[in-house]
Amino acid sequence: MTPFPRSILVLRLSALGDIIHTVPSVNALRDANPGVAIGWLVEAPYADLVRLVAPVDEVFTVATRRWRRAKLAAGTRGEIASLGVRLQRFAWGQASIDFQGLMKSSLFALMAGASRRYCFSWRAIREKPARFLGNRPVDIDQSKHVVEWNLALARAAGAASGPPRFDLSRLPHDPEGRLTPLVQSRPVVLFPGAGRPEKLWGAERFRALARSLARDASRRVIVVWGPGEEALAHEIAAGGDAEVAPPTDLRELAFLLRHAGVVVAGDTGPLHVAAAFDTPVVGLFGPTNPARNGPWGQLERCVESWTTTRRMDSIEPAAVFNVVEQALVSDLVR
């Protein structure tokens, strides 16, 4: 039997939801061997989220977009060289697990000098050439949820079996106290943004949902937004049935999502962050399959058109409102 490595380098560089879907695998690796050192390579904007994951001993950050824009600059070469030294110090001769499945992530595993480089098999890996840089390919059941994809990969590397466990135990806080008043009443949080335009539900539909929710005068509805989404948030709140949250960094966003009564969002990172904190969520799914990408543990609260038109505008505000009402009841009895 192959001995458990001294250290394991996790490669999941982005994006927010995908990072969350990798957390149970990291917990399972720790459960299998409490003494193993676990490092995580991630794009710098997501590092604060990774630091909330209890089993992670060391976080390595990359800035691949900036490096590509200035690939010949001395500063870029210096940063990459410094990262290589740190990665080799951590993982040389040990193990890496590439949950990303891209050429860039597999190249970082090679740079680290990991002797056991676990990766998805040819059928499942996203960028096919990346398969040739890994030397421990793992076949998976692609009909399952992506959380289970990741767990299958981690278990091939020795992770413990058992149900997925998120355990974001380094909980976010509100050091300046500016967000605490927003969440004292456990509001309904609307997150209208998305990484792809076809995942957007649209301001008009969110505004209709806010209008229905505001019929209960005691209920607070807050629109939370990310970079480039402030105008969308104000458009939703223009009817006076919701208020716009202040700008937040990633830790502050996590704080808001953890303390919300219900979070309503499309298939985007904040939906999965909220679900990882066990906050009730309502997911809106059109072009993506909730059975594969939905909020883990709360798939029954997805309102979807995946099985019909796969269009977000096929999802009616009244249907979403009914599911939100059910989720609010579950929040009261938690």
pLDDT digits (tens, 9 = 90+) for 3-25: 789 999 999 999 999 999 999 99
User: Out of 121-130, 304-313, 324-333, which region has the weakest mean confidence (pLDDT)?
Assistant: 324-333
Cβ neighbours of residue 208 under 8 Å, at least 6 residues apart? 317
pLDDT band of residue 50 (cuts 50, 70, 90) is: very high
CB 56 within 8 A of CB 26: yes
The DSSP call for residue 104 is H
Mean pLDDT of 314-325: 98
pLDDT band of residue 162 (cuts 50, 70, 90) is: very high
* Antiparallel, parallel or unpaired: β 116-120 and 95-98: parallel
The residues spanned by each domain of the chain are 7-156, 180-332
Phi-psi map region of 279: left, alpha, beta (phi>0 left; psi -120 to 50 alpha): beta
Mean pLDDT of 45-54: 92
User: Out of 18-22, 29-33, 175-179, 240-244, which region has the weakest mean confidence (pLDDT)?
Assistant: 175-179
Would you tell me which CATH number, out of the four given (3.40.50.2000, 3.90.1150.10, 3.50.30.10, 3.40.50.980), belongs to the domain 7-156? 3.40.50.2000
What pLDDT score was predicted for residue 334?
A: 59
For residues 206 and 192, what is the distance between their CA atoms, to the nearest angstrom?
Answer: 7
For residues 28 and 25, what is the distance between their CA atoms, to the nearest angstrom?
Answer: 5
- Does 333 score more than 60 pLDDT? no
The pLDDT tens digits for 255-309 are 999 999 999 999 999 999 999 999 999 999 999 999 999 999 999 999 999 999 9
What pLDDT score was predicted for residue 331?
A: 65
Answer whether the bond into residue 15 is a cis peptide, omega within 30°: yes
Residue 204's CB: how many other CB atoms inside 10 A?
A: 12
The residue among 333 and 91 whose pLDDT is bigger is 91
Q: Domain 180-332's class?
A: alpha beta
CA distances from residue 331 to 159, 260, 263, 313 in whole angstroms, order as listed: 33, 9, 11, 28
Give me the residue label for tokens 């399959």.
Answer: 289
Cα torsion at 183, 188, 192, 193 (round to 10°)?
A: 40
CA distances from residue 200 to 84, 108, 147, 211, 247 in whole angstroms, order as listed: 39, 33, 23, 19, 20
Mean pLDDT of 243-250: 96
The pLDDT tens digits for 186-223 are 999 999 999 999 999 999 999 999 999 999 999 999 99
Q: Tell me if 7-156 shares its fold with 180-332.
A: yes
The tokens for 232 are 């969308």
